[in-house]
Amino acid sequence: MYIALSIFHLLVTFGLILIVLLQSGKGADIGAAFGGGSSQTVFGGRGAATFLSKMTSALAILFMITSLALTILASQRGTTSVVGEDRSRPTESAPAPAAPAPATPSVPAPAAPDAQKK
């Protein structure tokens, strides 16, 4: 299931990239950017939705749905590594744990001079 969804996600991604690159920009004219005789609004006129804009919306929604589904499936799969190393056995390059340092005998503190005179 995870592999099939990943392949579908890649197809949707490539389709979305292709559809976006096929569309022409709204303000492709440099004169339109600075208001040179253009009667359109600042961001261009919004006409009827074309086939390419509808396909962009549909593929964007599919992209978001497949991204969420892949995230949920990946979290349920468990903790696996791409490297695939076995963490249950120690590696040879890892140093052995150090032995605890021997306890030093405590030396009594010298008595105060006032205590010795009494």
User: Do residues 63 and 18 lie in contact, with contact meaning Cβ atoms separated by under 8 Å?
Assistant: no
**What's the pTM?**
0.51
Per DSSP, helices labelled H in the chain are 2-22, 30-33, 51-76, 113-117
* CB neighbour list of residue 27: distance below 8 Å, 6 or more residues apart: 33, 43, 44
Decide: helix, strand or coil at residue 49.
Answer: coil
pLDDT digits (tens, 9 = 90+) for 52-103: 889 999 999 999 999 999 999 988 877 666 776 665 665 566 666 677 777 7
Specify the 3-state DSSP secondary structure of 101.
coil
